[in-house]
Amino acid sequence: MVKKAMINPGWEHYKKLTYAPAVRKGNVVFISGQDASQVDQVTGRPIVRGDIMEQTKVIYEKLKVILEAAGASFEDVVWTTDYITTTENYKATATIRRQYFRESFPASTGIIVKGLLHDGALIEVDAVAVLD
């Protein structure tokens, strides 16, 4: 039986949490929901800045780092879920998705939610990748 492997690209703050940035089981990589939060160097607490476009850029850079740590790329992503708190400018985030996925788009679902874990977060994205 194939054991699951936790994937952490070296993000120290995850050592305190009860979940991993991603988990690989066999050839499938499950990526936890990522928002645009960054750890404040003074308080050690997560902070989120920017509009939905800026936040989406940060999220996709985080996804890229996680995918690389798992030995994957955006071409391997087969599913994403976008959790959004507003539809304002949401359609514009497609330009960012195109930059990362190019023509290899995954299946995807968008869900409008009342709120997200970190104050100021407007969007959170999780993903599933399948490796060859």
Mean pLDDT of the chain: 95
CB burial string 96-127: b at 16+ within 10 A, e below = bbeebbeeeebeeeeeeeeebeeeebbbbbbb
Query: Which pLDDT score, from 0 to 100, does residue 44 have?
Result: 79
CATH value at residue 21 = 3.30.1330.40
Counting the structural domains of the chain, the total is 1
pLDDT digits (tens, 9 = 90+) for 25-80: 999 999 999 999 998 888 878 899 999 999 999 999 999 999 999 999 999 999 99
Query: Which pLDDT score, from 0 to 100, does residue 98 have?
Result: 98
Domain of 54 in residue numbering reads as 4-130
